[in-house]
């Protein structure tokens, strides 16, 4: 491992079940470097006060920390204006905001919402609920055998009835990168609004909302080195301006009378109640850290580890891999071991210090489409090493023996 990463992420030097930790569950959440931990402590130790509300210096300092984070995110994803950046608690809340504010207001009976079968439940369940409420139809783009989005489905289902296209940029199960730029252009031709779930892309590849021409982009800080509890919704200003608030109460108002309320301008209109300023401080530090590493280096490491893991797993005849032959893929390897439940696999790996995910990965329709109930998933980040992958493979090789299947 790069020495600096070991120094910066002390948790990676800890043990799990008496073994050195090989943390391979980065798709669920990433570890946090020291500068992020320090920034949170620094905020609570030196700047803590309710932002936006106080006229005193400490409150203004807190407001500055919060608004600096917004400016940092604006540049990071190349939004046009900081007004287009709404802080939420996570990608799930961001996607719910769009569904319940934009979707409920703009959809009509007979309209269609188009998503992919590879969506995380966070970009699926809100659309089911909104579709039902409005009498709209929820359509799916399915996958080809190699795991890519079916072009035939895109052509057939992206029609003038489609008012919303909501699509993940990278699948959290298969790691496949969808060409959302091309999809967005096609959707805009027929007047649909494009929502991109960037939960698995923003931490791993450069994302430029103007280049993609996304109308909305949702992501979570905790999957990109930040603390849990801070997320982002980007939206084009014109669209956000026309949307009603999602949550209401303190901070998001302009004026309240006994019966009426007028709402604050963007972005406050969508940020009701006391916000997570410590989380925003952590997000700023996380972006600084990521930019220090650089997306080229992140891609280099993740590609190396993914290719290595896939080639080693392919040597094991009892391992089935999912979506591993597509070239447009980032650091996620999803597999099953014949005759062994993924929870048993993960438990056996855990005893050897290897942390992976097992289950349906909040993507049950995709599991059904793949013909499985659940899978194992190893997901990498730039601080992982070939040694971590070797430990994964060595542990996988023990599973069938432990289960007395050999
Ligand atoms: C593709 C994708 N979308 C949405 C989410 C939801 O993220 P969060 O739980 O941080 O809201 C996840 C989390 O795993 C994800 O991988």
Contact (CB, 8 A) for 147 and 326: yes
What is the pLDDT of the chain when averaged over all its residues?
Answer: 97
Q: Which long-range contacts (CB under 8 A, 24 or more apart) does 392-396 make?
A: 392/22, 392/24, 392/309, 392/349, 392/354, 392/356, 393/309, 393/312, 393/313, 394/352, 395/348, 395/349, 395/352, 395/354, 396/313, 396/316, 396/319, 396/337, 396/345, 396/349
Q: How far is the CA of 393 from the centre of ligand 1 (A)?
A: 26
The full set of domains in the chain, from first to last, is 3-31+294-402 (3.90.1150.10), 37-291 (3.40.640.10)
Q: How far is the CA of 168 from the centre of ligand 1 (A)?
A: 10
Query: pLDDT category, 325, cuts 50, 70, 90?
Result: confident
Which atom, in ligand 1's list, is nearest to the CA of 119? Answer: 1
Which atom, in ligand 1's list, is nearest to the CA of 222? Answer: 10
- Ligand 1 pocket test, pick from 98, 170, 172, 226 with the greatest ligand atom count within 8 Å of Cβ, gives 172
pLDDT tens readout for residues 341-378? 999 999 999 999 999 999 999 999 999 999 999 999 99
Nearest Cα residue to atom 16 of ligand 1: 172
41, 47, 324, 362: which one is catalytic? 362
Nearest Cα residue to atom 12 of ligand 1: 199
Contact (CB, 8 A) for 360 and 367: yes
| Residue position matching structure tokens 């079968």 | 117
* Annotation says 41 is catalytic: no
Facing residues of 354 across strands?
22
Question: Which DSSP symbol is given to 176?
Answer: B
- 7: its two tokens: 């120094």
Q: How far is the CA of 257 from the centre of ligand 1 (A)?
A: 38
- 212: its two tokens: 């993609």
Q: How far is the CA of 223 from the centre of ligand 1 (A)?
A: 8
pLDDT tens readout for residues 8-36? 999 999 999 999 999 999 999 999 999 99
Question: Which among 32, 11, 7 has a CA at the least distance from the CA of 221?
Answer: 32
Nearest Cα residue to atom 7 of ligand 1: 91
pLDDT at 94 over 70: yes
Taking the CA atoms of residue 81, residue 51, residue 216 and residue 366 in that order, the dihedral angle to the nearest 10 degrees is 150
List the alpha helices (DSSP H) in 14-167. 34-46, 57-76, 91-97, 104-106, 125-134, 151-157
Question: Which among 186, 195, 188 has a CA at the least distance from the CA of 130?
Answer: 195
Nearest Cα residue to atom 13 of ligand 1: 28
- Ligand 1 pocket test, pick from 120, 203, 222, 276 with the greatest ligand atom count within 8 Å of Cβ, gives 120
Q: How far is the CA of 214 from the centre of ligand 1 (A)?
A: 18
The residues lining ligand 1, judged by C-beta closer than 6 Å to any ligand atom, are 90-92, 120, 122-123, 168, 172, 197, 199-200, 220
Q: How far is the CA of 92 from the centre of ligand 1 (A)?
A: 6
Alpha-carbon distance 269 to 328, whole Å? 38
Query: pLDDT category, 53, cuts 50, 70, 90?
Result: confident
Mention every residue, 6+ apart, whose C-beta is less than 8 A from residue 145: none
pLDDT at 2 over 60: no
Question: Which among 36, 71, 29 has a CA at the least distance from the CA of 292?
Answer: 36
Which atom, in ligand 1's list, is nearest to the CA of 172? Answer: 16
Q: What is the pLDDT of residue 5?
A: 92
What are the angstrom distances between the C-alpha of 267 and each of 16, 29, 282, 318? 42, 27, 20, 52
Q: How far is the CA of 386 from the centre of ligand 1 (A)?
A: 26
- Ligand 1 pocket test, pick from 173, 200, 381 with the greatest ligand atom count within 8 Å of Cβ, gives 200
pLDDT at 147 over 90: no
Query: pLDDT category, 3, cuts 50, 70, 90?
Result: low
Question: Which among 229, 263, 221 has a CA at the least distance from the CA of 246?
Answer: 263
Nearest Cα residue to atom 15 of ligand 1: 199
pLDDT tens readout for residues 247-273? 999 999 999 999 999 999 999 999 999
Q: By percentage, how much of the chain surpasses pLDDT 70?
A: 99
Alpha-carbon distance 120 to 352, whole Å? 29
- Ligand 1 pocket test, pick from 28, 30, 91 with the greatest ligand atom count within 8 Å of Cβ, gives 91
């Amino acid at each position: 491992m790069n020495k600096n990463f070991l120094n910066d992420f002390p948790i990676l030097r800890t043990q799990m079940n008496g073994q050195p930790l090989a943390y391979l569950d980065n798709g669920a959440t990433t570890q946090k470097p020291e500068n992020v931990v320090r920034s949170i402590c620094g905020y609570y130790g030196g700047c803590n006060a309710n932002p936006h509300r106080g006229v005193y210096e400490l409150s203004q300092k807190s407001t500055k920390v919060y608004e600096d984070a917004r400016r940092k995110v604006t540049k990071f994803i190349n939004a046009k204006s900081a007004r287009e950046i709404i802080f939420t608690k996570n990608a799930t809340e961001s996607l719910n905001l769009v569904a319940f504010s934009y979707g409920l207001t703009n959809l009509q009976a007979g309209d269609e919402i188009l998503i992919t079968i590879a969506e995380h439940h966070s970009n699926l369940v809100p659309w089911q609920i909104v579709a039902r409420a409005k009498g709209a139809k929820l359509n799916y783009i399915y996958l080809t055998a190699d795991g890519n989005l079916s072009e035939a489905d895109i052509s057939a289902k992206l029609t003038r009835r489609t008012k919303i296209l909501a699509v993940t940029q990278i699948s959290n199960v298969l790691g496949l990168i969808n060409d959302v730029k091309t999809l967005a252009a096609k959707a805009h031709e027929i007047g649909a609004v494009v929502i991109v779930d960037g939960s698995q892309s923003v931490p791993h590849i450069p994302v430029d909302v103007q280049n993609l021409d996304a109308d909305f982009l949702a992501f979570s800080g905790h999957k990109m080195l930040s603390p849990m509890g801070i997320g982002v919704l980007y939206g084009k200003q014109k669209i956000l301006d026309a949307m009603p608030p999602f949550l209401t109460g303190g901070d998001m108002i302009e004026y309240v009378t006994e019966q009426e309320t007028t709402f604050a301008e963007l972005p406050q209109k969508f940020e009701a109640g006391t916000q997570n300023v410590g989380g925003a401080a952590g997000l700023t530090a996380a972006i600084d850290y990521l930019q220090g590493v650089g997306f080229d280096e992140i891609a280099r490491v993740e590609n190396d580890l993914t290719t290595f893991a896939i080639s080693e797993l392919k040597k094991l005849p009892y391992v089935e891999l999912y979506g591993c032959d597509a070239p447009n893929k980032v650091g996620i390897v999803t597999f099953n071991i014949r005759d062994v439940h993924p929870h048993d696999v993960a438990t056996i790996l855990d005893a050897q210090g290897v942390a992976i995910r097992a289950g349906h990965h909040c993507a049950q329709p995709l599991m059904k489409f793949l013909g499985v109930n659940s899978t194992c998933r190893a997901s990498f980040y730039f601080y992982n090493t070939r040694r971590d992958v070797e430990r994964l493979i060595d542990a996988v090789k023990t599973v069938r023996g432990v289960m007395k299947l050999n």
